[in-house]
A and B are shown apart, each in its own frame.
Chain A
Amino acid sequence: MIKLGGRDTDVVLLDENGKRSDGRTVNETRKVTIKAGVLKNANGSAYIEFGENKILAGIYGPRDVHPKHLSNPDTGILRCRYHMSPFSVGDRKNPAPSRREIEISKVIKEALEPAVILDQFPRTVVDIFLEILQADGGTRCAALAAASVALADAGIPMRDMVSACAAGKVADTVILDVNNEEDQAGQADMPMGYMPNLKKITLLQLDGVLTPEEYKKCVEVGIDGCNQVYEIQKKALEEKYFSKGDQ
């Protein structure tokens, strides 16, 4: 059994060759694929597979706000709902929204607000719906990355994309992209959302214990991960909009 500062586990989180429990090195993200424009009815959409995470993002808007008292006469507003399907996790989850889902919805909305430009759409709302079909650690980052692609697919004006990835710590080592096992048994998990061109971090949370040095390293490593995910986001949009041309 190996004690690693998190929960006791008999899974080796980092072996003597620098390999993690799923074979990755400390600076490697899981496999990420994104497809833009996957739903027929939504104004914009994206599907992401981030490791074993499978998430659908759908956008409606800008559109009328109901109830009316939520509408802002000077600008459009963002609404975000992060929701897990009952079959998405090991122990079946009740479909009613949990406090965790409500908090994550808020945090993701605030990660996207600095990027979207809605002052040209007063009295409207842009609704962002994030559906977790299968969860395996880091769903909020994967959902945020998909949301950004779906917003671009819907034509919502944005000053930058928002990318996302988590950094963390296992076996006293800072790692990139924490999976479920590492989240359960590791020492720290730091999800991050990042605008890659404006270089601003718009989502940041921490669960665990970090020294000041480890904290700086985590932020650096997280930014690097976000830049890697940004390349996948670009590819998804290029595939849908730019690759069909004879240019």
Chain B
Amino acid sequence: MSKDKRYVIPGDIITTGPYRPEQNVILDGNKMIATCIGLSDITDGAVRVIPLTGRYIPKGDDLVVGKVISHSAMSWEVDINSCYLGILPASDVFGRDFSSHANDLTEKLSNGDLIAARIVNFDRTRDPLITISGRELGKIDSGELIKISTTKVPRLIGKRGSMIQMIEEATNANITIGQNGIIIASCENPDGLSKAIRAINMIEEDSHRINLTDMVKKMLESSD
């Protein structure tokens, strides 16, 4: 491991000196302290910790997969596998002329429906707003749901999408990756589907391995 990267747990002193504390790092005097379990990284005068565990925290523009769990007169509440519930306003689906008298929310989405959505904004003072109007967003009608840790999503996507592309090409599966760790995989070929699911589970189990890409490639190319 490069000498700048180190495994840390909460309370560990990563380094001392004139650095900027960033993600998951706090400053105590001149000490940079890790606040979560992860890999510390010192780059460009900033110290951060890449977390190995923890729940999804919504970020604007993130694609997420959520489950509708209830609704009020004006919006749906969506479980986005986070500390907060996502709010999908009725006007997002019905348009600006939406009227709670004329339109019944359950016509479009009912409890238990899965949706691919984007986080519109999240400033922590209110529950995050989400939208399903956009390309490739909306109700999910088919596919299999796989849950992984949100911290493993970058590994599943890979550098510039290289890992997920490799899996999709090898299996012909269509894979929707929610930043919140919820993945939907669908494929016409059941063997392709099962291989894709195995690849996703492999990445979650073995994300720490340097040769992960080769391991996944090998599994995808094998005939069983």
Q: Does residue B26 face the partner (Cβ distance < 8 Å to A)?
A: yes
Chain B interface size range: 20 to 34
- Whether B211 lies near A242 (C-beta < 8 A) is no
Task: Give, as a whole number of angstroms, the nearest-CB distance from A45 to chain B.
Answer: 11
Residues of A within 8 A of B (CB): 43-44, 61-64, 73, 76, 115, 117, 120-124, 152-161, 195-198, 234, 237-238, 241-242, 244-247
Residues of A within 8 A of B7 (CB): 238, 241-242
- Find the A residue at minimum CB distance from B206: A244
Chain A contacts for B11, CB-based, 8 A: 115, 158-161, 195-198
Contact between A124 and B211, CB atoms less than 8 A apart: no
| Identity of the chain B residue whose Cβ is nearest the Cβ of A63 in the assembled complex | B83
Q: Which residues of A contact B35 (CB under 8 A)?
A: 117, 157-159
Q: A152-B36, A159-B33 are in contact. Are A246 and B52 (CB under 8 A)?
A: no
Contact A161 B9 (CB under 8 A): yes
Docked CA distance A242–B206 (Å): 12
Q: How far is the CA of A153 from the CA of B210 in the complex (A)?
A: 23
Interface residues of B in 1-33 (CB under 8 A from A): 1, 7, 9-13, 24, 26, 28, 33
* A115 to B53 Cα, complex, angstroms: 18
Q: Could you tell me if B84 and A124 are in contact, using CB atoms closer than 8 angstroms?
A: yes
The residue among B85, B124, B206 with the most chain A CB atoms within 10 A of its own CB is: B124
Q: CB-CB contacts of B199-224 with A at 8 A, as 1s and 0s?
A: 00000001011110000000000000
B contact residues around A160 at 8 Å (CB)? 10-11, 33
Residue pairs across A and B with Cβ atoms less than 8 A apart, 21 shown, are: A61-B83, A62-B55, A62-B83, A63-B83, A64-B83, A115-B11, A120-B124, A121-B83, A122-B124, A154-B54, A155-B54, A158-B11, A158-B36, A159-B11, A159-B26, A161-B11, A238-B9, A245-B208, A246-B211, A247-B1, A247-B210
Q: Please, which residues of chain A bring their CB within 8 A of the CB of B37?
A: 152-153, 155, 237, 241
Q: In the docked arrangement, what's the CA distance between A84 and B171, Å?
A: 51
Known contacts: A152-B37, A245-B209. The answer to whether A64 contacts B9 by CB under 8 A is: no
Chain B residues with CB under 8 Å of A115's CB are 10-11
Min CB gap A109→B, angstroms: 17
The CA of A61 and the CA of B51, in the complex, are separated in Å by 16
CA of A196 to CA of B11 in the docked complex: distance in angstroms? 8
User: B189 at interface (Cβ–Cβ under 8 A)?
Assistant: no
**Which chain B positions have C-beta within 8 A of A154?**
53-55
B9 touches A155 (CB 8 A): no
The minimal Cβ–Cβ distance linking B3 to chain A, given in whole angstroms, is 12
**Would you call B142 an interface residue if the criterion is a C-beta within 8 Å of the partner chain's C-beta atoms?**
no
Q: A154-B54, A155-B53, A238-B7 are in contact. Are A117 and B124 (CB under 8 A)?
A: no
Query: Given B28, B53, B55, B83, which contacts A241 in the complex, CB threshold below 8 Å?
Result: B53
Quick one: given A43-B55, A241-B37, A242-B7, are A197 and B125 in contact (CB under 8 Å)?
no
Question: Which A residue's beta carbon lies closest to that of B127?
Answer: A123
Across the interface, name the chain A residue whose C-beta is closest to B126. A123
Select B10's contact among A43, A63, A161, A246, beta carbons within 8 Å: A161
Contact of B12 among A44, A123, A195, A197 (CB under 8 A): A197
Cα separation A153 to B151 with both chains bound (whole Å): 13
* Shortest beta-carbon distance from A127 to chain B in Å: 12
